[in-house]
Amino acid sequence: MPAQEMQTSQKRVLLTNNSLSARAGTECTIRDLSIGLLNRGHRPIVYSPTLGSLSEEIRVRGIPVIDDLRLLAEAPDIVHGHHFIPTAEALIHFPSSPALFVCHAWEYWMERPPRFPQIQMYGAVSEAVRDRLVHSEGIEPSAVIVLLNAVDLSRVPPRTRELSRQAKSALCFTARRTHVPVLRTACEQLGIQLSTLGNCGNRVVGHPERELIDYDVVFATGRSAIEALCAGAAVIVCDSHGLGGLVTSENYSSFRRLNFALRSLVKPISVETIVAELRTFNVDDAARVSELARSEVSLDTQLDRLLAIYDSIISTWQQAHTKITAESRNALLDFLHEALPRKITDPRWPWQLERDQLVQKIDYLDKECASLQSDLSNERSVRRSIEAQLSKESASRVVAEQGLRQVHQSHSWRITAPLRWLKDTLSLAGTRRSGN
C-alpha cells in the first residue's frame, strides 16, 4: 500500500484500559484519544473489563465500548494498549493484529508491559517511565519511545478573567489529601483562598477545565498539571510525595520531560517551602508558560504522531507476522476469560480483595493524616498567635521600663526627691498613729 494511501486510510483501533469507572489519567486519555480518532475519520473501539460513567461519555459519541472482547467480531487494524491484563487479552483474542503498548506509571503492577510479538513498539509518558521499561522491564531500547501526555484543547474554555497581579485564589487538584492542610496554612499566610478539586477534596467533576480557568494558582502533578497550564493558571508541581516548584518559562521543558511528576518532586513539602514558591508567582511569566504549553501539548499534535506510528507498526507487521490456529486461539481466550481476575471485587481472587481492602485502608489513613495535619496547622497557628501576643506584651514592658528609667534619670525627678521623702515619712507616721 502506498505511504500516502496508508496515511489517509480508515483504521479500526482497539484501545484498552483497566477501568473506565473513574476520571483518572489513563481513563481521560482513552476518552480523548477515542474521540479524537473518531473526529479524524477512524473507527475506534474501547475495551475495559470495568465500565462506568466515563464509558458512557465515550459511548454517546458513537464509539463502541465493551467489557467482553468476544462481542467484537471484527479484528482491529491495531491495538493501542494500556495496562497489562486488558492488553494481553486483546492480543490473545486478535493474534493477527499488531500493537502499541503505552506505560503511564513508574510503578503499579497493572502498568507492567506485556510480552507479545504483536507489540512492535512501547510508549512511555515520561523519561522516568521510559527508564522503567528499559532498565527494570528489559524492553529493547530501540522499541521504546517517549509519548508525552496531551490535552484536548477544545475542552478548555476561555478564562473568565485574567490572572491577578498578586495571586488571590488557589486550587489543589491532586489524587491525595495529606498535604492539603499544609497548602491551606501557607495560602492563609499570604491571604490566598484555597479550594480543592478531585480526590484530594472528594469532589470529582466531569469537566475540571471549566473550574481550572477560575484560579490564579493550581497545585497539581501529571496530566492535571498540564490541564491547569492550558487553562491559563500558574502551576506549582506538588502532591503528597513532595514539591517540584512553580513552573516557569525557564524550567517548563524539564518539567515537561518528567511529566510534571515523580522525578520533579525533589523538595519537601512544608509551610515554608510552599510560601516560598507562592512568593515567586509572576503573572506575566505564567501567561508565557501557558502559551508555551498550549503550543506543545495539543491532542491534535499527538494524534498526528500516533497515526504515523500506527502506519509504521502496521506496515512492519504485515511483512513479518505469523498466525496461530483459530482453535487454539479460542481455547486460550476462553481460559483467560474464565480464569483471569477481571474486577477488584472478584471473590475467586483473594489477593484482589486484599488489594481492595488495602486501598480502602490507605484512603482511611490518608484522611486521618490530613486531619492530624490540619490539627497540627491549627496548633501552630494558635502558637504563633500566642507568641505574637507575648512579643507585643514583652515589647510594651520594655517600653515601660525604658520610660521609667528616663523618668528616674530626669532633672525634675532628682530635685523633687526631698519632697517624695517627706511625703513617704509623713505617710508612715500617720499609719503608725492610726495603728495605736
Same domain, 9 and 141: yes
Amino acid sitting at position 345: T
Closest CA to 213 of 252, 184, 255, 171: 171
Q: pLDDT tens digit string along 12-40?
A: 999 999 888 877 888 999 999 999 999 99
Same domain, 101 and 198: no
Q: Are 278 and 217 in contact (CB under 8 A)?
A: yes
Choosing from 311, 343, 375, the residue where a domain stops is 343
Same domain, 35 and 88: yes
State the DSSP code for 261. S
What long-range pairs does 300-307 form, CB within 8 A, spacing at least 24? 300/36, 300/153, 301/150, 302/147, 302/150, 303/33, 303/36, 303/37, 303/40, 305/147, 306/33, 306/80, 306/100, 306/147, 307/7, 307/11, 307/40
Q: Is residue 417 part of a domain?
A: no
Domain count, the chain: 2
Q: Angle 56-61-64 (CA atoms, 0-180°, nearest 5)? A: 70
In 233-344, alpha helices (H):
252-257, 271-279, 283-296, 299-320, 326-339
Cα–Cα distances in angstroms (integers) from residue 8 to residues 2, 37, 46, 308, in the given order: 10, 12, 21, 10
Same domain, 8 and 145: yes
Q: Is residue 89 part of a domain?
A: yes
Same domain, 132 and 168: no
Q: What is the mean pLDDT of residues 41-47?
A: 96
CB atoms within 10 A of CB 428: 9
Residue 7: what pLDDT? 46
3-state secondary structure at position 44: strand
Q: Is residue 365 part of a domain?
A: no
Same domain, 117 and 198: no
Who contacts 381 (Cβ-Cβ below 8 Å, separation ≥6)? 185, 188
Q: pLDDT tens digit string along 239-292?
A: 888 999 999 999 999 999 999 988 889 999 999 999 999 999 999 999 999 999
Q: How far is it, in rounded angstroms, from Cα 244 to Cα 257?
A: 13
Cell triple for 78: 491495531
CATH number of the domain residue 279 falls in: 3.40.50
Greatest Cα pair distance in the chain: 129
Q: Is residue 413 part of a domain?
A: no
Same domain, 201 and 254: yes
- Which residue did the predictor score with more confidence, 369 or 417? 369
Whether the pLDDT of residue 5 is over 70: the answer is: no
Q: How far is it, in rounded angstroms, from Cα 238 to Cα 221?
A: 6
CATH number of the domain residue 316 falls in: 3.40.50.2000
Residues in the chain: 436
Same domain, 261 and 182: yes
Q: Angle 373-379-384 (CA atoms, 0-180°, nearest 5)? A: 125
Q: How far is it, in rounded angstroms, from Cα 230 to Cα 294?
A: 6
Q: Would residue 202 be called left, alpha or beta, if left means φ above 0 and alpha means ψ between -120 and 50 degrees?
A: left
HSE-up (13 A, CA, CB side) for residue 216: 20
- Which residue did the predictor score with more confidence, 360 or 21? 21
Residue-range definition of the domain harbouring residue 289: 153-296
Choosing from 296, 315, 331, the residue where a domain stops is 296
Q: Is residue 303 part of a domain?
A: yes
Closest CA to 225 of 289, 145, 300, 157: 289
Q: Is residue 242 part of a domain?
A: yes
Same domain, 92 and 181: no
Same domain, 159 and 272: yes
Q: Are 37 and 303 in contact (CB under 8 A)?
A: yes
Q: Is residue 126 part of a domain?
A: yes
Same domain, 117 and 160: no
Alpha carbon 174 to its chain's center: 5
Q: Is residue 396 part of a domain?
A: no
Query: Model confidence at 363, in pLDDT bands (50, 70, 90)?
Result: confident
Q: Are 286 and 252 in contact (CB under 8 A)?
A: no
Torsion of CA 311, 313, 319, 322, to 10 degrees: -140
Whether the pLDDT of residue 135 is over 90: the answer is: yes
Choosing from 343, 359, 374, the residue where a domain stops is 343
Closest CA to 184 of 289, 77, 274, 276: 274
pTM of the entire structure?
A: 0.74
Same domain, 38 and 144: yes
Q: pLDDT tens digit string along 99-120?
A: 999 999 888 888 888 888 888 9
Q: How far is it, in rounded angstroms, from Cα 232 to Cα 169?
A: 13
Q: pLDDT tens digit string along 203-250?
A: 878 788 888 999 999 999 999 999 999 999 999 999 888 999 999 999
